[in-house]
Chains A and B, each alone.
Chain A
């Protein structure tokens, strides 16, 4: 996980003041509630405060939006995972199967919830677009529409959320043949609800994206290699 660096201001002045005032109110109200939900709210408020104080919105950045009068780098729209911005996760696993099989499985995004625990569903709209819904960190549901922006059969798939989604994210998965199967490498960059601070709060509740992606890749390997995901849910205990 790394924090945005060299970020440029992309939030207009009036919007910055609204962020500061609104963020401060949310933080104060959230902390006063002294509950899990309140903490999350305080996290969101903190993120808003930070956005207002610095004038940098990582979500705007990812989407190539600026309300500060000039646009961000046009190149950002072309890459699936802009380097060094927002929350960035990179994980890999080696799966004992040919790239063609893994690519075909992954390319049907509706397969993803079978091993991605936090995904509630993915609905494929057409050959490029799909609808995603997560269970979300700390119980907050998130939903977005994604489009495939890059694909090389049997090698890589890159996608990004479409402007107007409530969680902005971009990701790519790469399949490379190796001696013991196929190396599957996932790069993910996203701006969680509540920004970097929100993510830090989510981590407090055990929602660490780094860990999550690693576990999901492990389950992907289990599913492909054995045909099932190991579980003990539903087994007897003496409790």
Chain B
């Protein structure tokens, strides 16, 4: 099969890899019909996450059709359409992470196994491939009824829940104003989620016109930080001096900016990549 593989810092290659096979009784093999690149794949690409190995298959946002199930998977059968949540693996705690000791050493407590996200998180081959082995398939995947296109459900695997949780953490009351830094995928879903949870106004901050346009289409008011003197003052003005009721940082690592530490960050990333 074809698979997108990590090939060292700053390099990803599509190569031929063997097809996956059932290894454990709760495994399933899924033929991937749609997959996405996540912002956190950038952290791997830029070399921020240790224990990546050359040839590791990437991808933790994917969906597809079940082609084979292990003997202990009773709730799925060949032909089922499923999304495979990266997040679902979390609910099984470190029982799914065969390298739990590594994350324990780093964080004090271990996270779960993840698809295509370094050997810290179990080293499971990811879904940016034609086929993927899904461990614990009896609890992870979610069946999708026919008639709903892939594009409508793929984002449930990771990115929509990420944006939703940010909004959920804001404890939004009806009519609240929420300011969101960053209009990438997480920011876009945070905007939609904030409205879903009752926000009256959402102010989206970014500098890329196409992202700001998308935010506007979702009903957000927009601030292009390249065009205003000061984001804080602008927000105060837009809210009659009260300021937003809640703020969401949907930028994270590898941010752009024009402040001194943004330049330092950019220099550091360039040095790391060379």
> What are the residues of chain A within 8 A of B17 when measuring CB–CB?
236-238
Q: Is B92 on the interface with A (CB-CB < 8 A)?
A: yes
Among B38-46, B97-105, B219-227, B259-267, the one that faces the other chain is B97-105
Q: Is A230 on the interface with B (CB-CB < 8 A)?
A: yes
Complex Cα distance, B105 from A214, in Å, reads 13
B16 CB → nearest A CB, Å: 8
Among A15-23, A71-79, A168-176, A220-228, the one that faces the other chain is A220-228
Q: Is A231 on the interface with B (CB-CB < 8 A)?
A: yes
Q: Which residue of B lies closest to A218 (CB)?
A: B100
Q: Which of B13, B122, B135 has the most CB of A within 10 A?
A: B135
B125: contacting residue among A218, A222, A235, CB under 8 A: A235
Among B23-31, B169-177, B209-217, B239-247, the one that faces the other chain is B23-31
Q: Is the CB of A237 within 8 A of B57?
A: yes
Q: Is the CB of A230 within 8 A of B95?
A: yes
Q: Is the CB of A235 within 8 A of B26?
A: no
> What are the residues of chain B within 8 A of A229 when measuring CB–CB?
24, 98
Q: Is the CB of B20 within 8 A of A235?
A: yes
Consensus secondary structure, chain A interface? loop
Q: Is A232 on the interface with B (CB-CB < 8 A)?
A: yes
Q: Is the CB of A235 within 8 A of B54?
A: no
> What are the residues of chain A within 8 A of B253 when measuring CB–CB?
none
B274 CB → nearest A CB, Å: 24
Q: Which residue of A lies closest to B20 (CB)?
A: A236
Q: Is the CB of A239 within 8 A of B55?
A: yes
Complex Cα distance, B136 from A218, in Å, reads 17
Consensus secondary structure, chain B interface? loop
- CB proximity to B under 8 Å, residues A162-201: none
Q: Is B155 on the interface with A (CB-CB < 8 A)?
A: no
Q: Which residue of A lies closest to B16 (CB)?
A: A238
Q: Is A126 on the interface with B (CB-CB < 8 A)?
A: no
Complex Cα distance, B5 from A214, in Å, reads 32
Q: Is B18 on the interface with A (CB-CB < 8 A)?
A: yes
- CB proximity to B under 8 Å, residues A46-74: none
Q: Is B133 on the interface with A (CB-CB < 8 A)?
A: yes
> What are the residues of chain A within 8 A of B98 when measuring CB–CB?
229-232
- CB proximity to B under 8 Å, residues A76-119: none
A222-B95, A238-B3 are known contacts. Are A230 and B55 too (CB-CB below 8 A)?
Answer: no
A230-B98, A231-B24 are known contacts. Are A237 and B56 too (CB-CB below 8 A)?
Answer: yes
B124: contacting residue among A226, A232, A239, CB under 8 A: A232
Complex Cα distance, B56 from A228, in Å, reads 23
A230-B113, A232-B123 are known contacts. Are A238 and B26 too (CB-CB below 8 A)?
Answer: no
A236 CB → nearest B CB, Å: 4
Q: Is A36 on the interface with B (CB-CB < 8 A)?
A: no
A191 CB → nearest B CB, Å: 26
> What are the residues of chain B within 8 A of A238 when measuring CB–CB?
3, 5, 7, 13, 15-17, 55-57
Complex Cα distance, B92 from A236, in Å, reads 23
Q: Is A139 on the interface with B (CB-CB < 8 A)?
A: no
6 contacts between A and B (CB under 8 A): A211-B101, A230-B96, A231-B23, A235-B23, A238-B7, A239-B53
Residues of B at the A interface (CB closer than 8 Å) are: 1, 3, 5, 7, 13, 15-21, 23-26, 53-57, 72, 92, 94-98, 100-101, 113, 122-125, 129, 133, 135-136
Sorted from nearest, which 8 A-B pairs have the closest CB atoms?
Answer: A239-B55, A238-B5, A238-B55, A238-B15, A228-B24, A230-B98, A237-B55, A236-B17
Known: A227-B25, A234-B23. 20 other contacts (CB 8 A): A214-B101, A222-B95, A225-B95, A226-B95, A228-B25, A228-B26, A229-B24, A230-B95, A230-B97, A230-B113, A230-B122, A231-B24, A232-B98, A235-B20, A235-B133, A236-B17, A236-B18, A236-B57, A237-B53, A238-B7
